[in-house]
Amino acid sequence: MKYFNIIASEEDLKWWWTYAVPPLKQNEIYFVSLSLRKKRLNKEEREITPHNEMFAKTQIRHNDFNRYIQAIRSLEQRVDAYFPKEAENFIHNAIVCYWNICPIDIYSAMKDQMVHLNEIMMTLTDSALKNSQGGIEQAYYKVRKSFDTYQSLFARNFGTKYWIDFDIDGEINDDIYNWLKTYFYGNFGKGHVIFVKTGGGLHCLIRRDKYAVNPTNIINSITKSYPELKEVVKNDNQMIPLPGTMQYGEPVIILNKEDISFKLHES
């Protein structure tokens, strides 16, 4: 019996909670999800691995470390619960555990969901008046999918925007990392930037209250200095691989823990 291999280090998960996760307000939650990504798989592995975004999801609704770690542990479920056909030859390196760096405004998401449900009700009423069986069936199908739709609305309803993230795709050697540290620390101050090393490159998180540079200027500065990098973008969806979990068979780690001292939660 196979289970998802997600957690790499509970110590790093605790560090992330303590130094990188702002406390929730009454109308906010944190959203965590699992996806399958084929980016680092070989041809044979790609053929037997389904493409599946956010196939498992959970929420953190309390400013409590134990609830947080329990939510992450709850994702380590049996593979065949989600992928019965692929369970025997499941490629664990395809799993990514994504964390939204800014909390979700659940009230705003609820308002969008109400608009969505009203549209379904109008379609259902119109189809019934026209005696359109196909329209009725389609409307009820959307009703059955409404919970999934509600969770998808999280992606565009952010609450407190504490962090801004730049996603750098490519091989990050010591020379590039040291240059990035000098650049970001020089612009935003030591202790206000977190570097997260992932299986695909690096995420550079900047405290929003220290943000004073145009994103285009940051991107241009990096790409001009290191044109060999595959891509440098401002991460607008605000999802990153969660430090302390596995991605592409490697742990997601924080590179500059020693430079971060300001706690957002008491450990």
Q: Tell me which of 85 and 24 has the higher pLDDT.
A: 24
Q: Does the pLDDT value for residue 204 go beyond 70?
A: yes
Measured CA to CA, the distance from residue 70 to residue 125 in angstroms comes to 43
Which of 21, 48, 43, 46 shows the shortest CA–CA distance to 32?
Answer: 21
At 240, the pLDDT band (50, 70, 90 cuts) reads very high
For the chain, which residues make up each domain, given as ranges? 10-103+158-259, 110-155
The pLDDT assigned to 198 comes to: 95
Q: Output the DSSP codes for 9-45.
A: -HHHHHHHHHHH-PPPPTTEEEEEEEEE--TT--HHH
The contacts of residue 203 (CB under 8 Å, 6+ apart) are 165, 166, 167, 168, 195, 196, 235, 240, 241
pLDDT mean over 74-94: 86
Q: What is the residue type of 64?
A: D
User: pTM (2 decimals)?
Assistant: 0.87
Q: Tell me which of 113 and 153 has the higher pLDDT.
A: 113
Average pLDDT, the chain: 89
Q: Does the pLDDT value for residue 55 go beyond 90?
A: no
Measured CA to CA, the distance from residue 241 to residue 48 in angstroms comes to 23
The pLDDT assigned to 54 comes to: 84
